[in-house]
Chain A
Amino acid sequence: MSMCRGGGKLDFQPLHLDVLKEVSNIGSAHAATSLSKLLNKTVTMYVPNVKIASYEEVMDVAGGAEEEVVGMFLRIEGDAPGSIFLLLSPYQAEDYIYSLTGISNLNEGGEGERDFAFSALQEISNIMTGAYLTALSDFTGLHLQPSVPSAARDMAGAILSTGLMEMSRVSDYAIAIETSLSDRDREANEKEKGHLFLFPDPDAFENIFQSLGVSSHE
């Protein structure tokens, strides 16, 4: 599959992006259900965004490269390797940690409480991405294994660039599969929105399309 004709612009057709959107839609629905159960409140996932984007555009979705976020990261291994990120605003992360553990102020707590809060976040990303990946795996028949998640509170650019490295070897563009999530019933503002990003490795696309009977050259 030729991914990078013409100086690194990815050679994808609208059909391919639609397929990725559909796959992600199914995964997101399951992730939202599992997160809602875990937090005991309704979490909504928006319609996924799938686009071929420059690195800067990817960062902009998360509020800009310098935006402080709480990010959870895990690698997918197996037939379609890639990286998954769950990004929450610090406000949202504290809210979810409170729902799960009853710890309300991360900055006042001791180190033990902070560790506890971070493991709560790891648990959130475990359950959510687990549901997402299981749905993807059931839908495509591909074998996908998540790694143990790891969490960091830092700049969105520093966090997300970890997931762009594999792709950056073949293209100056990323294929970002992004789904926003929120627990507000009204239209949420940016601070109340989280983002789930899936960055398949370049070699993963052929397997994903093949598993669904879509030619990668169409």
Chain B
Amino acid sequence: MSEVKRCIRIGIGEMGVGRASEMLKTSGLGSCIGIVLYDEVVKLAGMAHIMLPDSGMARKNRVNRAKYADTALIDLMDSLQEAGAVRWRLKAKIAGGAQMFSYSGNSSMMRIGMRNIEAVRSLLKQFSIPVIAEDVGGTSGRTIEFDPDTGTLRIKTVYKGVHEL
């Protein structure tokens, strides 16, 4: 592993697709979820950093589709297929959905991590995409890196260091 791969950084509410020679990375996931879809045969992967479970929550008409679990997943599948991936070979790895702060008030936004997890799991089930690994919930932020070549998801947290899924 001496070669340095090109790193594609995915910002909050963004998505991107990468090949074997590239890495996909998103930083500082709190209640947000990093969704990775990948095709092991052609070594293609897509990553989205979603903030909210459902585009129906948007209070405006023009929606940034990568921000919501439902629209982000559809776009990820489309982009991957356009790039040469095969729909039924797609697998998923997901991380995030933490609750960073305890809060007793009535803002439903405080429990958004759990709702994001539920939405992503149920959407993946609906699209028959198997979840190969997940590291979700808890109270810690995560930075994730995915290698389309090996299918490895590397997760970094402040307290527990780095582990791979």
Nearest chain B residue, comparing its CB with the CB of A67: B28
Residues of B within 8 A of A (CB): 11-13, 27-32, 51-52, 57-60, 62, 64, 67, 98, 100-105, 107, 109-110, 112, 139-143, 156, 158
A residues less than 8 Å from B13 (CB atoms): 55, 168, 172
A147 within 8 A of B: yes
CA distance A181 to B27 in the complex (A): 25
Main secondary structure of the interface of B (DSSP, over half): loop
List, in ascending order, chain B residues with CB within 8 A of A4's CB. 60
Q: Contacts A56-B12, A168-B67 known; A157 to B141 CB distance under 8 Å?
A: yes
**Cα–Cα, bound, A159→B12 (Å):** 13
How far is it, in angstroms, between the C-alpha of A7 and the C-alpha of B58 when the chains are bound?
12
Please tell me which one of the listed residues A7, A147, A150, A157 contacts residue B29 in the complex, with CB atoms under 8 A apart.
A157
Chain A contacts for B60, CB-based, 8 A: 4, 8, 170-171
| Residues of A146-189 contacting chain B, CB below 8 A | 147-148, 150, 152-159, 161-162, 164-166, 168-172
Provide the residues of chain B in CB contact with A154, threshold 8 Å.
30, 100, 140-141, 158
Task: Please give, as numbers and ranges, the residues of chain B lying within 8 Å of A56 by CB-CB distance.
Answer: 11-12
Residue A77 lies at the interface, judged by CB distance under 8 Å to chain B: yes
- B107 and A75: CB pair below 8 A? yes
Contact in complex: A64, B27 (CB < 8 Å): yes
Q: How large is the interface on A (under 10, 10 to 19, 20 to 34, 35 or more residues)?
A: 35 or more
CB atoms of A165 and B31 under 8 A apart: yes
Pair B31/A155 contact, Cβ less than 8 Å: no
Task: Give chain A residues whose Cβ lies under 8 Å from the Cβ of B139.
Answer: 152
Shortest CB–CB separation between residue A154 and chain B, in angstroms?
4
Q: Which residue of B lies closest to A55 (CB)?
A: B12
The answer to whether B11 and A158 have CB atoms under 8 Å apart is no
Least distance between B133 CB and chain A CB atoms (Å): 20
Tell me whether chain A's interface is mostly helix, strand or loop, or mixed: mixed
| B27→A155 contact, CB < 8 A | yes
In the complex, residue of chain A having the shortest beta-carbon distance to the beta carbon of B52 = A168
A residues within 8 A CB of B31? 158, 161-162, 165
Query: Is the CB of A66 closer than 8 A to any CB of chain B?
Result: yes
Q: Which residue of B lies closest to A3 (CB)?
A: B60
A68 within 8 A of B: yes
Judged by a CB distance under 8 angstroms, whether A23 is at the interface is no
A169: chain B residues within 8 A (beta carbon)? 52, 57-59
Task: Give chain B residues whose Cβ lies under 8 Å from the Cβ of A136.
Answer: none
Chain A: minimal CB distance from B32 (Å):
6
Given known contacts A169-B58, A172-B67, A158 and B28 CB-to-CB distance under 8 angstroms: yes
Q: Enumerate A6-37 residues with CB–CB distance to B below 8 Å.
A: 7-8
Q: A205 within 8 Å of B by Cβ?
A: no
A77 to B141, CA, bound (A): 26
Q: In the complex, what residues of B have CB within 8 A of residue A166's CB?
A: 107, 109
The minimal Cβ–Cβ distance linking A199 to chain B, given in whole angstroms, is: 11
Q: Are A155 and B28 touching (Cβ within 8 A)?
A: yes
Q: Does A65 contact B (CB under 8 A)?
A: yes
- Smallest CB separation, A15 vs chain B (Å): 23
